[in-house]
Amino acid sequence: MSTVQVNIVTPDGPVYDAEVAMVIAKTISGEIGILPGHIPLVAPLEISAATLKFPDGSKKVVAVGGGFIEVRPDKISILSPAAEVAENIDIARAKEAKRRAEERLRSKSDDVDFKRAEIALKRAINRIKVYEENV
């Protein structure tokens, strides 16, 4: 079975690196599945879960906090401001982040950046979801 190299990189360093059979990611225009030999493609990603399928049939799910995916026939890169493999997610921290974001959204003061809080909340929910579904 042919494989393609995937690496997931964030500003805080590389997160994951492997040979996989398929990558499933959610771009802003819809979900895509990428097999080895895909034409070069660049697409922005949603705050979502990306699934890596290995040649032996096993799966790995990664929580991706936006960013984009860059595809080349022999190499796939996911570049995101934040990304975590499901089993590395710190669930306590994610829940804490969710609580904080909700608090900020509820407060009616003017100095709260609602858009930012909303994104933070989305990220936290995404992390929690990925963790709970896969670990």
Number of residues that bind other proteins (CB under 8 A): 28
Phi, psi of 102, deg, nearest 5: -65, -40
- Contacting other proteins within 12-41 (CB under 8 A): 12-14, 27-29, 32, 39-41
Other CB atoms within 10 A of residue 134 CB: 17
Phi, psi of 35, deg, nearest 5: -105, 165
Of 90 and 133, the one with the shorter C-beta distance to other proteins is 90
**By CB under 8 A, is residue 82 in contact with other proteins?**
yes
From CA 23, how far away is CA 69, in angstroms rounded?
10
Shortest separation between residue 126's beta carbon and other proteins, angstroms = 15
Per-residue x/- track, 55-74, other proteins (CB under 8 A): -----------xxx-x-x--
Is residue 44 classed as helix, strand or coil in its secondary structure?
A: strand
Q: What is the pairing mode between strands 75-79 and 4-10?
A: parallel
In the complex, which residues of this chain contact other proteins (CB under 8 A)?
A: 7, 9-14, 27-29, 32, 39-44, 66-68, 70, 72, 77, 79, 81-82, 113, 116
